[in-house]
Each structure stands twice: as C-alpha cells, then as structure tokens.
Chain A
Amino acid sequence: MPKDDLKKLYDVLELPPDAPLRDVHNSHLRLKKLYSGESIVLEPLGEEFTDKKKKKILEQIEEAYAKILASRAPEASRTEPLFSAEAAEEKLSEPEDPAAVVYSGPRLRKARDAKNVSLNELSKELKLRLELLNNLEAERFETLPEAIYLRAQLRTYAAFLGLPPVKVADDYLRRYNAWKEKTSPPPPEGASRRHRS
C-alpha cells in the first residue's frame, strides 16, 4: 500500500504511523465506543451530527483498523533474528501474532484485560449474559451452551475485541470438544484408563 494511503488510515485512528500495535487496538476500541454510543461530546452537535455521519465514521474506523492490521501482519510474524534488540523488546509488549496464539478462555480474558474492557461493558455491548462471559473465560465448559451456539458467541466476542473471529472460535471449540470427549462415556470396546494402568 502506498505510504500516503496508509497514513490516512492511521489518521482515521488518530495515530502516528509508527504507533505500536497496542495503540492501534486501543484507539479502535475507544473510537468505536465514542461513535456508536451516546456521549455528551456528541449531544450538543444535535442534528448537525447525523446518524448517517456517525455510521460513516464507524465504517471508516473499521476499514482503517482492518487494513492496518493486515498491513502489519507480516511484521508481527517475522522471525526473531530479524528484529533489533529494541524492536524485539517492543514486540514483547505488543499482542502476539494472532496465528501463534491459542485462544483459550484465560487467553481471551487476558486480551480483554489488555484492552481495558470490563466484563460488564462487554456484556452490555454484546448483549450476552455476564455469567456466560465469565464461564466462557473460566472455561467452565459444563455450563456453556452447545457448540453451535457457542461458536456464534465466540465470534461476536472476538470481533468486538479486534481478535480474529474464526480462529478464536476454532481454537476455543477445539478445547471445548476435547473436554467433551474426555467426559463422555468411553466407547464400549475402548481401553479405559483403569484398564491401562
């Protein structure tokens, strides 16, 4: 992508082009909140600031966010030796390369914490029960709904936090299914644990 175009995307997120990835996530979240909700900052503008205008800004924010992340994907997955010591240190403080992460419940909680989003806020934003979100992050699998519902909820959760929705759902459900297999009764002719020991 030409440098100027990229600069414009960073302008939308109100960041300098050398902003660390963490700032990209934070800005995205902050602006999304500002322009999708009620705010005493927008209220006095009344009719001058139409819903259409807000929607357009929100679209621009999403577009910029997606494109910036895409443009930085290679940078994040580059192998260690290519980094200077300084860059490597910087990388530590940034979210890891999404491809290398396994999105378990605790890992999701960590991602949420890093963005300063409370469970309460998330529950309100996503219209999902607080208890469900809590159980999801704590991996209390026995309390969670069937995989087919869970997948949709995981994707919403991920999208809101700017995580890759499909990967989050896949990772999480893999763990969920593994638990399911373990707890369901063993097949009749299969070797039980007791048998093996």
Chain B
Amino acid sequence: MAPKSKVKEGEIWAIGGGKGGTGKTFITSSAGTYLARKGRQVVLVDMDIGGANLHTFFGISRPQKSLTSFFEMGASLGDLVVPTEMPNMSLITGDIHSMASDKITFSQKLKLFRQIMKLNAQTVLVDLGAGSHNNTLDTFLIADKMIVVLVPEVIAIENMYHFIKNSLFRKVKMTLKEYGFKEIVQHIWDRRQSYGIVNLKELIDYLRESFSYIGTILDHELSSFQIHLVLNMVRNNQDVQLGASIKSVMMKYLGIPIHYSGYVEYSDAVWKSVRERKPFMLNYLATGCAKEIEILTENLIKSADIDIPGVA
C-alpha cells in the first residue's frame, strides 16, 4: 500500500450492535491483533460495563488495573493502560465489579470521552458490549468508525435496527441541541401521529423540509453518520448476502449509509481459542476466519465494502 493513505492519529473505532453474544469482543480482539501485527499502535478499551471480558481473550484472568479505578478513584485513563503479550497492543480492562451503566455521571462520561481521545495510540478499539443504553450510544457516536457486529438471525437484526435507530435519533437530538433547537426533535416525535410521521426517516425528512436551516445543519452533521457492518457466524452464502440486503434496507428505509465491511464464518476454532484464552489471530492464523478478519479489518481501515460475487 502506498504510504500516502496515512491515517490520522488516534482514530477511535467503537464496536457495538445491540444484541448480546454476537461476537463483538471476539471481533474487537481479533481486528485489534491484526492492526497491531501490521505495526499500528493499538489500545483496546473494554467498555462493556457489567460484562467486561475482553482481557480473557488475551489470557489475563485477574487484571491488575481496570476502569473501576477511573470511576471510583478518579484515576486517569492513561494510567490504566496495561500491555499485552502482543507487541504494539495494550489494553484497558473493563470494570469487573459489575457496575450499572446508569451509575456513570454525566461529567464522568465527558471526562472519559476526553481521555479516550487523548490515548496514546493510532487506533483505539472500544468494545461497547451489548445493549442500547444512552451511555453506550454516546460512546458509539464519538467514534470515528461506528462498527456493528451482527449474526444472521432475526432477533439480532431487530436489535441492530433498534441500536442504529436510537443512535441516529440521539445524534439528531444532540446536534440540534448544539445549534439551539433543544426540544424540537423530541416535541415533534412525541406528537408524530398528528404530524403523520411513522418513522425516524420521516421525522428527519420533515425537519429538513420544514426548517431549511435545520436541513443544512443535518446535511452537514449527518454526513459523518456511517455505519460499518460486520456479519459474524455466517454459515453459507445466503448468510453472506444478508449484509448487502441490510445495506440496501438501511439506505432505502432510513437513509443511512452502511459499509458492509465483511463477514466471519462460524468456526469451532473461534470458541476453542476463546476457551484456551489465546488471541485468535495469533494461534489460528491459517484458518479461513483469520483471512476473513484480515479482509474486514482492511475494509474498516479504508471505509470500504467487501466484494461479494453477485452483488454489484
């Protein structure tokens, strides 16, 4: 690759998607390992409040430091970074006392975001855990790359739509608040029936059409709202094609651009490596999964889409 495609320092990738158990932590650890092997300085942050387990993917069973110190003792994030056995890669382990996400105060959150942005790394990968809590959505929204991990099943797809819709709604609300239109979005949404609005897309279209100034703001601010989709545990070609269908539906239905970055097949090697507590990308390099992770991570770097035969 030509060196001109240099990435700006400190890019944040957030990995979420709503549904539990889809492989977010596996993808975070594997994509991170791949980036580190490529020579990038990587810090992984486990933000799965209440379900932190990213450290176990690196064979660390009892982390010496964790986000607990940040929340309870006001430690600074930079001091909580611990190395892994992998060169170029370090880790901030999650809060292992299962603390409730809504205990985090607003000012803690802002401080956390500020410090995440200042971490000394080229790529910071944040494992968001499951769910669509506002704190989770806010972390998702500060990322340079918003990544969702999905498995090919109805419930997971449903949760993902919910997750993305809520993120977008929050983004629109926060954006307009910044510009002084604090209540308007919620106001109209709460009365959507009388406005004949059925969904978020129609709300946004309504705002655009009714207030041209808001339209300009949204055009500008929402242009960065791009989702990167990773399909995990695929079992056949039909599963693989789902990514393209979701991309289509999200665009036609919500007006949200999706990059279908790639997929990872279902493989026993994955849970084996998790059980062995060894980084997958080190021990199972020869597997198809490892190749797929390589492809999807490259696509994430470039904000590109995967090439799939039969899908233009």
Footprint of B on A, CB under 8 Å? 13-15, 19, 22-24, 26-27, 30-31, 34, 39-45, 48-49, 53, 57, 116
Contacts and interface: CB of A to CB of B under 8 A. Distances in A.
B244 interface: yes
Contact of B311 (A26, A39, A41, A43): A26
A26 B158 contact: no
A34 B312 contact: no
Q: Which of A34, A41, A53 has the most chain B CB atoms closer than 10 A to its own CB?
A: A41
Grouping DSSP codes into helix (H, G, I), strand (E, B) and loop, the A interface class, with mixed when no group exceeds half, is helix
A34 B161 contact: no
Contact of B154 (A19, A24, A44, A49): A44
B282 interface: no
A23 B253 contact: no
Contacts of A39: 245
Contact of B249 (A13, A26, A42): A42
A26 B153 CA distance: 25
Contacts of A23: 312
15 contacts: A13-B312, A23-B312, A26-B310, A26-B312, A30-B312, A31-B248, A34-B248, A40-B153, A40-B154, A40-B157, A41-B242, A41-B245, A41-B249, A49-B253, A57-B252
Contacts of A22: 312
A57 B251 CA distance: 12
Contacts of A14: 247-248, 251, 312
A48 B198 contact: yes
A44 B158 contact: yes
Interface in B157-206: 157-158, 161, 198-199
A30 B252 contact: no
A43 B154 contact: yes
B246 interface: yes
Given A19-B312, A34-B245, A40-B242, A48 B153 contact: no
A48 B199 contact: yes
Contacts of A19: 312
A154 to B, nearest CB: 25
Interface of B: 152-154, 157-158, 161, 198-199, 242, 244-249, 251-253, 310-312
Contact of A15 (B161, B198, B312): B312
Nearest to B312: A23
A30 B252 CA distance: 14
B249 A45 contact: yes
- Give 4 nearest A-B pairs by CB, closest first: A23-B312, A44-B158, A41-B245, A27-B312
A71 to B, nearest CB: 17
A30 B153 CA distance: 20
Contact of A30 (B161, B198, B199, B311): B311
Nearest to A50: B198
Contacts of A26: 310-312
B166 to A, nearest CB: 14
Contacts of B152: 40
Nearest to B154: A40
A52 to B, nearest CB: 11
A31 to B, nearest CB: 6
A23 B242 CA distance: 18
Contacts of A24: 312
A31 B311 CA distance: 10
B157 A30 contact: no
Nearest to A26: B312
Given A26-B312, A41-B157, A44-B157, 16 more contacts: A13-B312, A15-B312, A26-B311, A27-B311, A34-B248, A40-B153, A40-B157, A41-B246, A41-B249, A42-B249, A43-B154, A44-B158, A45-B253, A48-B198, A48-B199, A116-B310
A45 B244 CA distance: 17
A44 B161 contact: yes
Contacts of B154: 40, 43-44
Contacts of B245: 34, 39, 41
A40 B248 CA distance: 13
Contact of B244 (A30, A42, A57, A116): A30
A24 B312 CA distance: 8
B310 A30 contact: yes
B248 to A, nearest CB: 6
A49 to B, nearest CB: 6
A9 B153 CA distance: 31
Contacts of A49: 253
Contacts of B158: 44
